[in-house]
Every structure is written in C-alpha cells, then in structure tokens.
Amino acid sequence: VYLLHPDPWPKARHAKRRMVNNGPLDLIAAKLKPGGEFRLGTDDPTYCRWAMMVMNARRDFTWQATHPRDFLERPADWPETRYERKARRRGHEVWYFKYARA
C-alpha cells in the first residue's frame, strides 16, 4: 500500500484528519499480509515527524530502514508522482518510509 504525499493538515488542531493516524492505519494493517509493505512518501517536515511518531508507537508495523539512504533516496521500485516532481522542483526534500506488516 502506497500513501504518497497525503495532505499534511498542517494545523495541530486538524491533526486527526491526517491519513497517518490509527484509524486509517488499522484499515491498512487489516488488508496487508505479514511482510506486506506500507510505503509513505512526504516532503512535509511536520508530517514526517508526525508519521514517525505515530508509526513508531505501532506494534503491527516495522520500519525497514537500516541506513539513512533508505529514507533519503527514492527506492528504484517506488513511483515518482506528479506532486513529488513539483516538490523537488521547489527544492523540497522528500522522505520515503517503508514499513512491513508484522
């Protein structure tokens, strides 16, 4: 399952609307077999921190990164979306998170 550049809902009071929250993640977890991957891409630093915090608290997903390049460089099998191209053109960094379903 890919979640690529979801709207960040940047205001703290709107954080519950973000896709990376336990409600949507429970649905994604229910669809994935053990070892199946949930992949998240974002160029939003607030969303990046938020996602790491929410995902780190979950016991049903394991972050796959073993080296900084794993989340700083787009994996070869990861599609570049229109939004990502625009973000890169604007000089934004993009972060790539791969989580495996436990």
Catalytic site residues?
A: 7
Count H helices and E strands in the chain, helices first. 4, 4
DSSP state of 86: H
| Dist CA 93 CA 88 (whole Å) | 7
Crossing angle of helices 22-31/45-56, nearest 10°? 60
Q: x/- contact string, 40-79, with ligand SAM (CB under 6 A)?
A: ----------------------------------------
Q: Which of residues 83-102 bind ligand SAM (CB under 6 A)?
A: 83-84
**Is residue 4 at the binding interface for ligand SAM, with CB under 6 A as the rule?**
yes
Residues that bind ligand SAM (CB under 6 A): 4-7, 17-19, 81-84
